[in-house]
Amino acid sequence: MSLISKALAGYLRSLTGTTLLLLVCAIWLSCCKAHVKPLSWDPRDRVLEELTLPAGISGTGQPVRFTPKQAQGQRPQFHITPGFGWSNDPNGMLQYKGIHHVFFQHTINDTVFGRQHWGHVASTDLVYWTRLPTALYPDQSYDTNGVFSGSASIYQGVPYQLYTGVSRFYELGFYYQVQAVAVPANLSDPMLVDWVKPASNPVVAGVPVGATNLQFRDPNTAWYQDGAWRIAVGTQLNCSGTALLYSTQDFQNWTYTGVLASQTGLKPDGVCADGGEGPTGSCNQFGSGCRMWECVDVIQVGPVMVIKWSDEVHGRDPFSRDWYVLSSTNASVLGNMTASAEGSFRPGVNGSLNYSPRAVDYGTVYASKFWRDASQRQLWIGWTFETSAGCSPAQCSTGTGFTDAQGYQGAQTLARLVTYDPEIEELVFYPTEESQLLRNLQQSNRLDELLVSGADPEGMSILGKHVSSTQHMYDVDIAFKLLGGAEGLQPFSVGLILLMGADTDEGVRIHLNGTAATFSGQTKVTSLSILVDRRDAPAPSNTSYGGGFDGGPVSLPEEGVSSNELQLRALIDNSLLEVFAQGGRGRVTSRVYSLAVDEQWDVRAFGSFGSGSIEITGAIWGMDSCWKDSIELESHR
């Protein structure tokens, strides 16, 4: 022990208990204060502020001047957002006593990533939500630096929230991660407002050899199998992203039972890419070869087992992405500590489906979660992060002057129904039927139009006289039919244009691009992709993120689809877009921003198909806000 250490120890021994307690409290408060960045704006301030766009984003290199009102006008209105502060991963979704609950990661006192709590909203129908008090606080020694992500399970009628507690950040320089549980303080309360943490926490603290408590988080919803309840927890095992399995009989005492799947196991050669981060070299959360698996999920959808994970890779664009793979392996192999368990999602070992990892969504979605409602529908929701100009690739976690002025960061997608499509051997994600409840039936326009191919590249307005051009909240559900194509194979492009302001050509183009084959007068679509083009979006949109595009291929049956079966749905909510092709076979979530928050916008349909024409049918609706001040409970007790 050094002389300084001895002197400090002697000084501490000389203090009375009360004085020592006050000293410790002062140090703790000082650390907390240092950790919280003061707000850089006042909501009452209406003085113009400046945001200078980084080179290559604004095009002109000129600063963008905005008011707090313009920044706050970007907020989505029919998607879940925090009242104030940073938000990210959705957590602990469940339906209890007729009430749907969504929790989410929430920094309650700042608009950047910080000391995480669990925000909480509730609904009777999955679309109209009421804000509730913060559900979980970082108030225990094992979660003092944050209540990280987790999932809900119901055991013997009691909801259990399994979550990751993080601590010791200032001591170790990283978050020490363990798994803990919280249960309702009052089981008769359908709103689940108050939660308690049992004295048995943390319930899972140990990791197997080759893993570390530095990367050990996000337990999923438990499933019952072979006489035990089981969960998967994401980690890095020997530098490889991995889903570890744990089992329990009582949700208090857990045992490590093996590896479910891993990044290494998913590769046909069983190894990570040579060089860079890999099993034989250094590794971290963002390795280009091997990396951390976050927010792992294990579910069954129809006849298939599904494992889903989230990963982040420095140098990859996009930096963050959610993936899933399928297996027809029977669930009985899960939890087997032999090598075959790790191979249960590996080609040629078990199962017979397409094992290539698939993107859950092509856009700005991360840390998504699955859950089932009371009717056993498989549902999904994901976090969509901010991408406005100046945001770092890492989900804007450090914020900008613009996101500070917004007063919040992050939104949740609409709940999506998840089904298995045997024609393409993939999952389909599509907004639940309840999403239609948000449509304002007084603001609608039915479409039955014929476009001459390429006659007007800017398309035709579809708002009509009843849909508000200044509300900027729309649900567009349309079908395109390709007509009169020349014999042979030719390309087509159909879609929507969102013009974000009055008398402007700045906006976003939503494309369904592909090829169609016409033989003997019959036309079939043989290839298809979905694309959101942000390159012409106005400031402060980031027009270079992802190259200015979000999108990718849409899988079709081997024989293609009829030319009158091209389907597109776009949910437009100020700065947030959710776009679906072919009933959810293709999915893109994207963020675009405009300072024209009080101006008229326009939604236009366009199409190009060689010498042919395009028939457009469907409708557009204005959308209502999702927020309600309270929930009527009588019919839900």
Give the tens place of pLDDT for each residue, 505-525: 999 999 999 999 999 888 999
Q: What is the pLDDT, as a whole number, of residue 407?
A: 97
Task: Based on the fold, state whether residues 607 and 515 are members of the same structural domain.
Answer: yes
From 431, 465, 482, give the residue that closes a domain: 431
Does residue 152 contact residue 95 with C-beta atoms inside 8 Å? no
> In 344-380, which positions are buried (b, 16+ CB within 10 angstroms) versus exposed (e)?
bbbbebbbebebebbbbbbbbbbbbbbbebeeebbbb
Where helices occur in 77-157 by DSSP H, the ranges are none
Q: Are residues 368 and 498 in the same domain?
A: no
**397 and 450 assigned to the same domain:** no
Mean pLDDT value across residues 165-194: 96
Residues 461 and 511 in one domain: yes
**484 pLDDT tier (thresholds 50, 70, 90):** confident
Judgement on whether residues 356 and 492 belong to the same structural domain of the protein: no
| Of residues 544, 618, 532, the one with CA closest to residue 576 | 532
SS3 category, 398: coil
DSSP state of 594: B
* 236 CA to centre of own chain: 21
The answer to whether residue 405 sits within a structural domain is yes
pLDDT of 29 strictly over 90: no
* CA 277 from centre of chain: 26
381-409 pLDDT tens trace: 999 999 998 888 779 999 998 999 999 99
pLDDT reported for residue 353: 54
Q: How confident is the model at residue 280 (pLDDT cuts 50, 70, 90)?
A: very low
Let me know the angle formed at the C-alpha of 419 by 155 and 625, rounded to the nearest 5 degrees. Answer: 80
Please report whether residue 51 resides in a domain. no
Maximum mean pLDDT: which of 65-69, 262-266, 454-458: 65-69
Coil/strand/helix, residue 636: helix
Residue count (the chain)? 637
Point out the domain boundary residue: 391, 413, 431.
431
Q: Quote the CA–CA distance of 571 and 582 in Å, as a whole number.
A: 15
pLDDT at 500: 98
Q: Which of 382, 414, 431 is the last residue of a domain?
A: 431
On the question of pLDDT at 248 being above 90, the answer is: yes
How high is the pLDDT of residue 633? 76
CATH code of the domain covering residue 544: 2.60.120.560
Residues 473, 329 share a domain: no
State how far the alpha carbon of 4 is from the alpha carbons of 1, 9, 170, 549, in Å.
8, 9, 21, 58
Q: Which amino acid is at 225?
A: Q
What average pLDDT does range 1-20 have in this prediction?
A: 39
Nearest to 235 by CA among 220, 250, 249: 220
Q: Coil, helix or strand for 52?
A: strand
Shared domain check, 579 and 520: yes
What is the model's pLDDT at position 228?
A: 94
**Co-location of 272 and 330 in the same domain:** yes
Residue 124: name the closest of 153, 103, 160, 96 by CA.
96
In tens, the pLDDT along 562-621 reads 888 899 999 999 999 999 999 999 999 999 999 999 999 999 999 999 888 999 999 999
Look over the chain and give the mean of its residue pLDDT values, rounded to a whole number: 85
Q: Give the single-character DSSP code of 415.
A: P
CA–CA gap between residue 231 and residue 266 (Å, rounded): 20
CATH of the domain at 152: 2.115.10.20
Whether residue 1 lies inside any domain: the answer is no
In this structure, the answer to whether residues 426 and 446 fall within a common structural domain is no
Of 284, 294, 293, nearest to 315 by C-alpha is: 284
Is residue 361 within 8 A of residue 546, CB to CB? The reply is no
Percentage, residues of the chain above pLDDT 90:
67
Could you write out the DSSP letters of every residue in 220-278? ---EEETTEEEEEEEEEETTEEEEEEEEESSSSSEEEEEEEEEHHHHSTTSSPPSSSSS
More confident: 118 or 484: 118
- Per-residue confidence (pLDDT) for residue 18, from 0 to 100: 42
Q: Is the pLDDT of residue 80 over 60?
A: yes
Question: Which is higher by pLDDT, 92 or 562?
Answer: 92
Whether residue 45 lies inside any domain: the answer is no
Q: Which of 570, 115, 623 is nearest to 363 (CA)?
A: 570
CA 192 to CA 185: how far, in whole Å? 8
Q: Is residue 56 part of a domain?
A: no
Most distant CA pair in the chain: distance in Å?
A: 97
Kindly report which listed range (341-345, 364-368, 473-477, 587-591) carries the lowest average pLDDT score: 341-345
Calpha distance 80→89 (Å, rounded): 12
- Domain assignment present for residue 551? The answer is yes
DSSP symbol at 627:
B
Regarding whether 457 and 420 lie in a shared domain, the answer is: no
38 or 237: whose pLDDT is higher? 237
Strand-strand pairing, 411-412 and 416-421: unpaired
Q: Tell me how crowded residue 13 is: count the other CB atoms within 10 A of its CB.
A: 8
Q: How confident is the model at residue 501 (pLDDT cuts 50, 70, 90)?
A: very high
Specify the pTM: 0.88
Structural domain of 91:
78-431
Looking at the 3D structure of the chain, how many domains does it have?
2
Q: Give the pLDDT confidence score for residue 521 in this predicted structure.
A: 83
8 Å CB contact between 29 and 514 = no
Q: What are residue 600's phi and psi, to 5 degrees?
A: -75, 135
pLDDT digit string (tens) for 33-45? 333 333 333 433 4
pLDDT band at residue 8 using 50, 70 and 90 as cut-offs: very low
- Euclidean distance between CA atoms 256 and 64, whole angstroms: 53
- Whose CA is closest to 605, among 570, 574, 580? 570
Residue among 142, 133, 154, 146 at smallest CA distance from 105: 146
Secondary structure (3-state) at 119: strand
Query: What is the average pLDDT across 25-29?
Result: 39
pLDDT exceeds 90 at position 54 = no
Q: How confident is the model at residue 355 (pLDDT cuts 50, 70, 90)?
A: low
pLDDT score for 265: 64
Looking at the structure, do residues 477 and 615 belong to the same domain, yes or no? yes
**N-to-C CA span, the chain:** 62
DSSP one-letter string for 421-481: ETTTTEEEEEE-GGGGGGEEEEEEEEEEEEEETTS-TT-EE--TTTS-SSS-EEEEEEEEE
Buried b (16+ CB within 10 A) or exposed e, 417-454: bbebbeebebbbbbbbebbeebbbeebebebeeebebb
Q: Is residue 52 part of a domain?
A: no
Shared-domain flag, residues 472 and 500? yes
For residue 611, how far is the Cα from the chain centroid? 41
Q: pLDDT band for position 15 (50/70/90)?
A: very low
Q: Which two tokens stand for residue 387?
A: 């991408």
- 3-state SS of the chain: helix, strand, coil percent to 5? 10, 45, 45
pLDDT in tens, 422-468: 999 999 999 999 999 999 999 999 999 998 887 778 899 999 999 99
Q: Is residue 68 part of a domain?
A: no
- Alpha-carbon torsion 183, 185, 189, 192, what sign? negative
Q: CA 554, CA 566: separation in Å to the nearest integer?
A: 11
Cα-to-chain-centroid distance, residue 340? 31
